[in-house]
Amino acid sequence: MSKETIYRVSFVSQGEVYEIYARNVSQGGLFGFIEIEGLVFGERSKLLIDSSEERLKTEFEGVRRTYVPLHLSLIHI
């Protein structure tokens, strides 16, 4: 079993709350934003299909890196 850290990042965008999981979170090169890389889907429940997670998977399909304003986000380890 891998001991790799996965971060849970919660943020608000256009009045909607997002909760995504990622392998790397850093300050990045853009002042006031956090850089989120290595989005992870399907880790929360391997047996059940979560419709909200499927929506996020579709919305973030093909995204390798995204930036979220620091003041709108909350990071959980």
pTM here? 0.73
Output the average pLDDT for the chain: 80
Spatial distance between the Cα atoms of 45 and 50, rounded to a whole number of angstroms: 8
pLDDT at 44 over 60: no
Contact 67, 33 (CB under 8 A): yes
Q: Give the DSSP letter of residue 53.
A: H
Q: What's the pLDDT tens digit per position in 6-20? A: 898 888 888 888 888
For residue 12, which amino acid is it?
V
